Amino acid sequence: MRPLFNVNGKGSFAFIMGIISGYPIGAKIASDFRKNNICSKTECERLLSFTNNSGPLFIIGTVGILMFRSTTIGILLFITHILASISVGFIFRFWKCKSSNKFETDFVDKKNSKKTYASFSNLGEILANSITSSISSILLIGGFVVIFSSVISILKASGVLNALSLLISPIFNYFKIDTSFISGLLTGLLEITNGINAISSVSLKKLSINIIFASFLLGFGGISVLLQVLSITSKTDLSIKPYIYGKILQGVIASVYTYIFINVFPFFNFDL
């Protein structure tokens, strides 16, 4: 972790769990690291930029198999997603590089300043806290998905989404990209599940365009995930800026990697 990402070796836990578990576990672990003073503020912000990723269950299972009806597409999207995450982590190893050697005060959580240490006597308390934290995270994720699904429905019904699509359509026409993707892309910027589902349903002979747009949205995560992360980091002294910059960069890099894979490896090319 230190040579590649310039963070404490314990940050590998945030990186691995972020890949396995999906949004927003990576951000939650990075925030917990800061609360428990396991890593410095700068190191946690570096972790925040690249450890919060979409999981294999969602990318391969939901996006690949259910939406695109192809396990191979799901594997392609997962590979490029992780490669983009690693690339962003390497770029952000230089985040606040000049100030990283300076003294950083430990974070003090005033509400939970009393630490709980693992022992047989307080095993029940530890398990109870773990269950409460898990249920809270599940409700947080589900709540944001429901809220943004409602917002997207309102935007569609009110005609706002169509108006925005008309404004952006000249840009798509200039690059000779089908304007059918605009609605799905705008939806995905708000909430990725609805957006990718809309993009995967666009019928074109060049399926690679659908896959590249889906790769970008998976990397970016959407405003829904951003607010989930913000609700977690707001309880610490971590800045949300590295996360925002990192996700935009990850979306762009992931789409570029996807384009390269499709054109270099024939078995990843699904164009008719």
pLDDT tens-place string over residues 156-183: 999 999 999 999 999 999 988 889 999 9
pLDDT-derived band at 104 (thresholds 50, 70, 90) equals: low
Residues 143 and 130: their CA atoms lie apart, in Å, by 20
Kindly state the percentage of the chain with pLDDT values over 90.
63
Give the residue with greater pLDDT, 123 vs 213.
213
Give the residue with greater pLDDT, 77 vs 95.
77
**Domain definitions of the chain by residue range:** 2-98+140-268
Q: In the predicted model, what is the mean pLDDT of residues 21-38?
A: 90
**Residue 121 pLDDT:** 60
**Residue 107 pLDDT:** 61
Residue 150, pLDDT above cutoff 70: yes
**Residue 227 pLDDT:** 92
Q: In the predicted model, what is the mean pLDDT of residues 236-251?
A: 94
Residue 110, pLDDT above cutoff 70: no
Residue 67, pLDDT above cutoff 60: yes
Residue 113, pLDDT above cutoff 80: no
